Amino acid sequence: MTIDTLTQLSITLSNTRLAPSDQLKQICLSVEGMITGADRVSLWKFTHDKSAIECIALFDQGTFSLPENLVLTRDAFPEYFAAILQSDFVRASDARHHPDTRCFNTGYFDKLDIYSLLDYVFHHEFAPFGIICCESVGRQVEWMDNDLDCLKRTARIVSVFSYMDKL
């Protein structure tokens, strides 16, 4: 019997003895496996006042890490913050020209060679808590409805296992 990726993620996250870093890694690996074209998968946590997001996990082309001091602020990227908080997602296949993401062109997209971005908010107690981010490196990816649906379902699973508020 084969278990689908999201069911396996639920089983993994329900293991209370698994270290938070291993849970974060499993979330990133699951998303990377489901979303074609996601070369980078990262998890971000909002500050309490939603004025910034801090990267708490990154799976970048085969390597997992827990970055420190990788913070993006609302002041520096107001279009993105407005869009993600209003809609719960940003789908930018041409991220360098998309009105919600072109603010990342200098110092982020250019530095990391990112061309497409697909993000979805996860919630804790019905409030935006963090973001699951997929990025393509070196090429544009046409994100499909199925990709967005996978992120929505993943975000719901992550929200059920709301251990992330302890990080």
- Work out how many domains the chain is built from and give that number: 1
Q: In this structure, is residue 139 part of a structural domain?
A: yes
**Rounded Cα gap, residues 57 and 45, in angstroms:** 10
What integer pLDDT is reported at residue 167 of this predicted model? Answer: 45
Residue 53 · residue 46 · CB < 8 Å: yes
What integer pLDDT is reported at residue 166 of this predicted model? Answer: 45
Q: In this structure, is residue 10 part of a structural domain?
A: no
What integer pLDDT is reported at residue 144 of this predicted model? Answer: 96
Q: In this structure, is residue 162 part of a structural domain?
A: yes
Residue 155 · residue 120 · CB < 8 Å: yes
What residue numbers bound the domain in which 158 lies?
19-166
DSSP 39: S
Q: In this structure, is residue 1 part of a structural domain?
A: no
User: Please, which residues have CB within 8 angstroms of residue 55's CB and are 6 or more apart in sequence?
Assistant: 42, 43, 44, 67, 70, 71
The residue written with tokens 């001091």 in the block is: 69
Comparing CA positions, the residue from 47, 91, 40 lying closest to residue 73 is: 47
What integer pLDDT is reported at residue 164 of this predicted model? Answer: 53
**Rounded Cα gap, residues 85 and 22, in angstroms:** 27
DSSP 106: I
Q: Look at phi and psi of residue 156 and say left if phi exceeds 0, alpha if psi is from -120 to 50, else beta.
A: alpha
CA 125 to chain centre: 19
Angle formed at CA 166 by CA 160 and CA 167, multiple of 5 degrees: 110
Q: In this structure, is residue 156 part of a structural domain?
A: yes
Q: What is the pLDDT along the chain (167 residues), one digit of tens a residue?
A: 577 888 888 888 888 888 889 999 999 999 999 999 999 999 999 999 999 999 999 999 889 999 999 999 999 999 999 999 999 999 999 999 999 999 999 999 999 999 999 999 988 878 899 999 999 999 999 999 999 999 999 988 888 776 554 44
**Rounded Cα gap, residues 107 and 146, in angstroms:** 30
**Rounded Cα gap, residues 53 and 47, in angstroms:** 6
> For residue 82, what is the domain's CATH number?
3.30.450.40
Q: Enter the pTM of the model.
A: 0.91
